[in-house]
Amino acid sequence: MSTIAFLNIGMHGHINPTLPVVAELVRRGHTVTYHTSPAFRREIEATGASVRLYPGGEQPLPDPPTPVTLLESLATASLRLLPTVLDDLRRDGPDLIVHDSSCLWGAMAARELGVPAASSFTTFAFNRQVPSPTHASWDLLAAARGQLGSVRGYLRARRELRRRFDARGLPPLDLLNIRQGLNLVYTSRAFQPAVEHFDESYRFVGPSIGARPADPSFDAGRLRSPVLYASLGTVFGADPKLLRTFAVALAPLGGTVIVSTGQTDPGALGPLPANVVPLRFVPQLEVLDRAALFVTHGGMNSVNEAMQAGVPMLVVPQGADQPMTAARVVELGAGLSIRTEDVDKGSVRALARRLLHEPAFREAAATLKAAQRDAGGYRRAADELEQYMHVAGAARRPATDPARRG
């Protein structure tokens, strides 16, 4: 069996899809190490992987997380983390490094050590037809003019990285799109835009969703159909007034309306209709299995889980890649989208009524559900990594290796 090292950035949306893959690789007998921040230690250890903690504790996101500030953050984090990461990897001796598509230090470590690497795309795959948020563009240039401090920080960090480490072949700018010989994309070919323009190095394995422990505090028996569910994720703090608008707008249309408040205190929403249940944390897969409608921020993990359940969506993008995801949901007929500034009780209720009563939305969601499930999920991702590792290992063996003799 082999040793496989995973390296990632400190965001749930990037780590969560890898966990079922890690658990499957461990089940197959591989030794897996995972380089991460302390906040994710417990859930990673639950997969059977050994955790390697980054120095310095948590790795906070820039505030705000714009493309320019993300570039600076990724470059400076690489400079800070690489010495410790390289020491850990030299001790562990991995046969393969799997890094997030925005984990610059993972890609640099693989080059520095001469270890085969695979990239993990937890959003869409990116290319010229589907540009990433950090691709060279007039919009990025305009944003950079207003964030010159971050630009200078990025340039300083990249110069130092080039001086101290092997940065050959890495994108000079587009750090959300670091590709390798194998690129795992956690959505289906049906949902990926411009899929015909991606080569065979991209494997669209579908959503990586494993079994999750039941939440004993959540009483599924109290849910009354139709179940309507609203969640705006955890990265962008949800305004209590916005959450209250969703709750009040959806209440007349649903049997039970569940509102996930995340970092927001449920009490901040004020008095709510009797059929609205505000909760900080929600067992999302369990709720989506019963839901008739999902109001979501459009994070890829949440959208993948909704498609896996065949639930139509009202997407309210908050930032990052979410407008792109929202546009794809609308394009494929599986939902509708609304800008945050256009949200009010009447607009949300009108759109929700359409999603609940026009059958075309549920039919499109059912088509995507089949495509997502047929893609293979975490088991196929593990298959792809094993095959890639086998091919890469064979290519690295010297001609005198007995395994290569005919």
pLDDT of the residue at 397: 56
> Same domain for 139 and 279?
no
Among 8-17, 106-115, 265-274, the range with the most confident prediction by mean pLDDT is 106-115
Over 90: is that where the pLDDT of 57 sits? no
> Same domain for 367 and 386?
no
> Same domain for 261 and 353?
yes
Residue 252 in any domain: the answer is yes
pLDDT of the residue at 372: 93
pLDDT of the residue at 406: 34
- pLDDT (tens digit, 9 = 90+) per residue, 186-226? 999 999 999 999 999 999 999 998 766 667 677 777 889 99
Q: How many domains does the chain have?
A: 2
- pLDDT (tens digit, 9 = 90+) per residue, 143-156? 888 889 999 999 99
> Same domain for 246 and 284?
yes
Residue 212 in any domain: the answer is no
Residue 214 in any domain: the answer is no
pLDDT of the residue at 396: 64
Q: Is the peptide bond prior to 64 cis by the omega test (within 30 degrees of 0)?
A: yes
Domain of residue 139 covers: 3-206+376-404
> Same domain for 246 and 183?
no
Lowest-pLDDT choice from 30-34, 158-162, 188-192, 265-269: 265-269
Whether residue 24 contacts residue 378, with contact meaning beta carbons closer than 8 Å, is answered with yes
pLDDT of the residue at 213: 66
Read off the tokens for 397: 């063996």
pLDDT of the residue at 212: 67
| Per-residue pLDDT band at 65 (split at 50, 70, 90) | confident
> Same domain for 325 and 385?
no
Residue 306 in any domain: the answer is yes
> Same domain for 67 and 138?
yes
pLDDT of the residue at 276: 93
pLDDT of the residue at 394: 64
For the chain, the straight-line distance linking the first and the last C-alpha, in angstroms and rounded, comes to: 23
Lowest-pLDDT choice from 202-211, 307-316, 352-361: 202-211
Question: What burial class does residue 65 get, using C-beta atoms within 10 Å of its C-beta: 0-12 exposed, 13-18 middle, 19+ buried?
Answer: middle
> Same domain for 55 and 160?
yes
Over 90: is that where the pLDDT of 98 sits? yes
> Same domain for 231 and 201?
no
pLDDT, greater one: 395 or 327? 327
DSSP string of 52-65?
EEPTTS--PPPSS-
pLDDT, greater one: 349 or 134? 349
Q: What is the CATH classification number for the domain harbouring 91? A: 3.40.50.2000
pLDDT of the residue at 218: 77
- The one-letter code for the residue type at 329 is V
DSSP string of 313-372?
EEE---STTHHHHHHHHHHTTSEEE--GGG--HHHHHHHHHHHHH-HHHHHHHHHHHHHH
Over 60: is that where the pLDDT of 400 sits? no
> Same domain for 265 and 357?
yes
Average pLDDT over residues 242-246: 93
The average confidence (pLDDT) of the chain is 90
Q: How far is CA 313 from the centre of its chain?
A: 18
Residue 287 in any domain: the answer is yes
Over 50: is that where the pLDDT of 405 sits? no
Whether residue 313 contacts residue 294, with contact meaning beta carbons closer than 8 Å, is answered with yes
> Same domain for 233 and 196?
no
Residue 264 in any domain: the answer is yes
> Same domain for 200 and 249?
no
- The one-letter code for the residue type at 182 is L
Average pLDDT over residues 34-46: 94
Q: CB atoms < 10 A from the CB of 249, how many?
A: 24
Residue 213 in any domain: the answer is no
pLDDT, greater one: 65 or 347? 347
pLDDT of the residue at 239: 83
Residue 238 in any domain: the answer is yes
- 38, HSE (Cβ side, Cα atoms, 13 Å): 4
pLDDT of the residue at 219: 76
Across-strand partners of 50? Answer: 33
